[in-house]
Amino acid sequence: MAGDHVEVHVVESKGVWDDKIQSAKNQGKIIVVDFTATWCGPCRVMSPIFVELSKKYTNLIFLKVDVDEVADVTSEWDIRAMPTFLFIKDGKQIDKIVGANKEELDKKVQQYASLVTA
């Protein structure tokens, strides 16, 4: 990967997921998760938008979960459609967007970023 700063962390296992959730809790940070799939057209459209948001709002933690690769996390959070974007604070879901809605995602990321200090 290019650069030292990774904006979007790809979650490849339940263990990595649990570590990220715990780390965010410890730091008092909000997580934004993109539940995606390689075969999902709308997911591919939203992916670069998600990356751009992660660069702009560095006080949030951005995670990407492939629903086919990390099925246990997908089922644990009851993800039924892709893309689904979850907002998580203190290990609990505080908001959710289902579908490729760029305006809604932008608005909610901005809203939650304003609640967290860098």
**Separation CA 25–CA 52 (nearest Å):** 24
> What is residue 70's three-state secondary structure?
coil
43 is catalytic: yes
Phi, psi for 7 (deg, rounded to 5): -80, -45
The catalytic residue among 11, 21, 43, 79 is: 43
Query: Which class for 103: exposed (0-12), middle (13-18), buried (19 or more C-beta within 10 A)?
Result: exposed
What is the C-alpha to C-alpha distance for residues 14 and 63, in angstroms, rounded to an integer? 13
Give catalytic status of residue 26 as yes or no.
no
Query: What is the distance between the alpha carbons of residues 65 and 73, in angstroms, rounded to a whole number?
Result: 8
Q: Which of 24, 40, 46, 82 is catalytic?
A: 40
- In the chain, how long is the greatest CA-to-CA distance? 36
Q: What are the residue numbers of the active site? A: 40, 43
